[in-house]
Amino acid sequence: MGVEQVVRLTRAEQQQVTHERLLEAGRSVLQRRGFLAATVDEIAEEAGYTRGAVYKHFGGKEGLWQAVVDAHTEAHLQLLGETLDRVSSRQELIAALIPSAFTDDQDAARWSTAAMEFMAAVTRHPDAAAVSAAAQRRHEERIVALLEGACRRLHIQPAIPLEQVVVVLGALGGSLGLRAAVDPATDVAALAAGVMAVMFPEPKE
């Protein structure tokens, strides 16, 4: 019989495993239940830990949410960058900016709704709001940089500064995401495309 070898993780490795499991459980529960309905106990149970682990690693539900958002943002920015590198027309640029929550992506739609719940809840917690706002600004700055390259290549002059365009698109996406959740008959994708067509006018000859 062979000798069974037990792989022992270092304390740092154990902490990293715990962190990643809590992060994944948080993403799953927050998306499924929404920010307001999800509880620290439910997230901890899904990850296989106690609620104390959530507070130790993230400081609470708000901190866990921000960590989940940060991870999601990195994936989104990478995908957006790859997509914008391929666009070859104004129409393709506009299509690339329509949130997946406006299509048949139900997971994205639930995430969009949870994000709006978080934004409403965090207004009562100045410290958490400041952290969220700072992260959002960093996210927006990176989107602006990606759009600058695409607009320059396509010879498109935005109707307003790109810094403002990105803020408006974020606000529009959140509001239309809620509208779609309440009234699925609303063609939110068409509405978003119409607004973006104004923001990204046809290139001048």
Write down the pTM of the prediction: 0.82
Per-residue pLDDT of the chain (205 residues; tens, 9 = 90+): 444 555 677 888 888 999 999 999 999 999 999 999 999 999 999 999 999 999 999 999 999 999 999 988 888 899 999 999 999 999 999 999 987 767 666 777 788 888 888 988 888 888 888 989 999 999 999 999 999 999 999 999 999 999 999 999 988 888 888 888 888 888 988 999 999 999 999 987 6
Q: What is the 3 state secondary structure string of the chain?
A: CCCCCCCCCCHHHHHHHHHHHHHHHHHHHHHHHCCCCCCHHHHHHHHCCCHHHHHHHHCCHHHHHHHHHHHHHHHHHHHHHHHHHHCCCHHHHHHHCCCHHHCCCHHHHHHHHHHHHHHHHHCCCHHHHHHHHHHHHHHHHHHHHHHHHHHHHHCCCCCCCHHHHHHHHHHHHHHHHHHHHHCCCCCHHHHHHHHHHHHCCCCCC
